[in-house]
Structure formats: structure tokens, C-alpha cells
Amino acid sequence: MKTKAIRLYGKEDLRMEEFDLPTIKDDEILAHVICDSICMSSYKATKQGTVHKRVPNDVSENPVIIGHEFSGEIIEVGAKWKGQFQPGMKFSIQPAINYEDGPVGILSAPGYSYKHIGGDATYIIIPNEVMAKNCLLPYTGPGFYPAALAEPLSCVIGAMHANYHTTPGSYIHQMEIVEGGNMAVLAGVGPMGLAAINYAIHRTDRKPGLMVVTDIDQTRLDRAASLFSPEEAAKNGITLKYINTKNFENPVQGLLDLTNGKGYNDIFVFAPVPSVIEQGDAILAFDGCLNFFAGPSNADFKSSFNFYNVHYNYTHIVGTSGGNNDDMEEALAMMSVGLDPAGLVTHIGGLDAVIETTKHLPEIPGGKKLIYTNVAMPLTSLADFAELGKTNPLFAQLDKLVSQNNGLWNVDAEKYLLEHANKI
């Protein structure tokens, strides 16, 4: 079986190559990748090469396939797994498999560490450890892009589950956000912030009473409000406010005033910016928990934190990176019954767009960049479909299908793209 894939050879060294996959072993599975969502973590791995903790030291001789937010269809199943998986099954993968014998030990992950599995490929071989750790997850919902976006959604699910609170006089931590509490999502209208808003609004087991989402870009705030409106949140018992902190003379005081001075029980920081972290620290309530979600590229990244409040007001900080199997299963279950992550997606492209998109990801505005790995297509903003459609029938139809869905990517548009776009 031949595959086309984007492989990492070292710092800034990505190559699109066609090569033969070996015949699968009895404990492996052959799969067809359909789509991959490009993550900032792939950009970091490309920038850092072997310095990255998940990239093997011998990557220059044994390149790895990048991409870890992907979905597809099973083609062939080795004898060991035939009782659990069948050809034709749609799947997503939890990439943080935590397998001590992987290429870089316990940090090994598809999309960073393996020669034959990663999201930016047409065909892959799923190794035994993925199934052994229950990280190959069936998806039964419509389309493929929701399953590809299950991994980023699982990250925000894990973050909310990881927050904790205490009771004075007790050493037992109460995990999770505060039911009916005040939540702040700072710098929260990028792709991952949107995922957090979507999840917080639609989960059924625990919700904040007040959710304040901040940014300094009014255009992005307006788009977020159009996707996840205060009216929709109110139907689910949440008061949702989008705040441009540039409009406050004193942002800390302005955000505190929204809580009548009580502060925020749960804060999620979605940008590795010291001033945003310090702003979050300053608005924590008694026993408030700040979750630093944004992973910095700089290994020496630092910010100040008020330890007077840590001691006397019981404030605390956590950090999460990725979700676990339970988080992935929760994400897939929510998508299978109707939670649509399409609001995260602002660009569509083919496998030939991966290299430049990955290398320049921080410079490209908008949300998630969704790659269809069997398609040849430049990275294209959904907002440009109408103009391109004046001369290209493919984009004309895609624009029609997207326009019928409030400007959002959708299963019908995906199906049309897969059937009519140029093959890679």
C-alpha cells in the first residue's frame, strides 16, 4: 500500500512524500485518513525538531508523519483486533497514548513520534499500542470533520475536569468547575477558546452560572457571539458576556464588577501572555482556580502570581495539556448526538497545503485549518468561497452549501468536496 504523507525530518524540514507502507502485522490496523485539523502543537514540533519532547532524536534518518487531530476509516484489521474493529468503521484517535516503549518513551504520540501513523497522510498503519491503550475510538456520527475535531474538544473537556476547589479545614480536592459559579475565559475567542465555550454551553452535567469571554479583537468577539450567542447560552441556564477588555479603563476592576466584586471561581487562560495570566490571577475569587491552558513555545516562560492570595484566599493554578481517553470518548459522544464543532473551522485545504500552513500557522488569521488529506487544494478561507466561486464551480457549490448553514462548514459541504475536488 502506497501512502502520501507530510513527514518531519528536523527543524523546519517538512516534506510531502509518497512511499510504501509495510504489510500490517497481526497486531496492527491499516486505515484511510480522511481529514486532519492542524494544531499549533504541530507548528511547535516543526519549529523545535528534536528539541520537542515528543519528536525522536533520529528523526533525520527516520522521519515521522505529522498531524494528530484526525479521523478516517479502517481498511484492514490484523488478527489480534478483528473481534473489536472491522473494515469500514469510522474512527478518531487519542494521540496521548502514554506508552512507555514508544519511540520517545511515555511521551510518544501519533503525529509526532511515529514513521507510519499521523494525520497528514492518505493511508497509515495504526500500531498495536494505540489499540492496547484503548486509544483507537470508533465514531458513529455524521461526516468526518467532527471526529477530527474531537481531540481539540477533548483538551478543553480535560481542562474543565482538571480544575479543582477545596473546603477550608479539609484536604480533599473537589474536582471540576464550580456548579453555577463564575467562569472567565480569557483571550478566549481563538479556536480552543471557541471549543471551550461550545462545550461549557452544551454539557449537561455541570455549568457555570456566569461565563465571561474576553479578547481585545472585536471582530473575533463578534464572530464568537454569532456562533455561540448569549441567547443560546441563556436557554441552558448560563449568562454569557463577551467583553473587549480594551474598552475598560481598568480591565481588572471592570471584570470584577461583572461579578459584583466576588471574582471568578474558574478561569481559563488561552494565550501565553504574562499580562493575561496576571489579569486572571487578579480576578480570582476565594478558592478560585486558574487553568493555564495555552502552551508556550519558550521553555523559560514565566509570569508573576500573587502568593499572598494563594496563602490567604486559597487561590490555585493548574495546567493541562491534552485530554485523556475519557475526555475523547465524551467529545465523540457529544458529537454523535449533535454537538457540531464547525464553528471552529475557518479554512479548508488539501494535503499539498499542509507544509506552508503548518510553518506559518500563527500568522494565518481565523480558527481551525481543516485538511482533507486525499485532496489537492490550497488553504482557502470559507469567507473566500463566494469570490472564488465566480470562476470555479467547486467553490461556487461549496459557498452555496456553507451559506445555507450560517456560513459554517458542514457535512454536506464535506461530502461534496470529497466527491468533486481534485485528488492529491
31 and 116 co-located in one domain: yes
Residue 423 maps to a domain:
no
Instruction: Report yes or no on 329 lying in a domain.
Output: no
415, part of any domain? no
> The whole model's pTM is what?
0.85
Does 234 share its domain with 293? Answer: yes
CATH of the domain at 219: 3.40.50.720
- CATH number (domain holding residue 13): 3.90.180.10
Question: Residue 155's closest CA among 94, 206, 108, 209?
Answer: 94
Same domain, 171 and 303: yes
What's CA 109's distance to the chain center, in Å? 15
> Are 118 and 25 contained in the same domain?
yes
Residue 259 lies in a domain: yes
Residues 305 and 194 in one domain: yes
| Residue 96 lies in domain | 2-148+340-354
How far from 47 is each of 50, 118, 163, 188, 280, CA to CA, in Å?
Answer: 9, 18, 30, 24, 29
- Residues 43 and 192 occupy one common structural domain: no
| pLDDT, tens digit only, all 424 positions of the chain | 999 999 999 999 999 999 999 999 999 999 999 999 999 899 999 999 999 999 999 999 999 999 999 999 999 999 999 999 999 999 999 998 888 888 888 889 999 999 999 999 999 999 999 999 999 999 998 999 999 999 889 999 999 999 999 988 888 999 999 999 999 999 999 888 999 999 999 998 899 999 999 999 999 999 999 989 999 999 999 999 999 999 999 999 999 999 999 999 999 999 999 999 999 999 999 999 999 998 887 889 999 999 999 999 999 999 987 788 899 999 998 887 778 889 889 999 999 999 999 999 999 988 899 999 999 999 999 999 999 999 999 999 999 999 999 899 999 999 999 999 999 9
Q: Are residues 179 and 244 in the same domain?
A: yes
CA atoms of 290 and 308, how far apart (whole Å):
15
Does one domain contain both 124 and 197?
no
Residue 231's contacts (CB-CB under 8 Å, 6 or more residues apart) are none
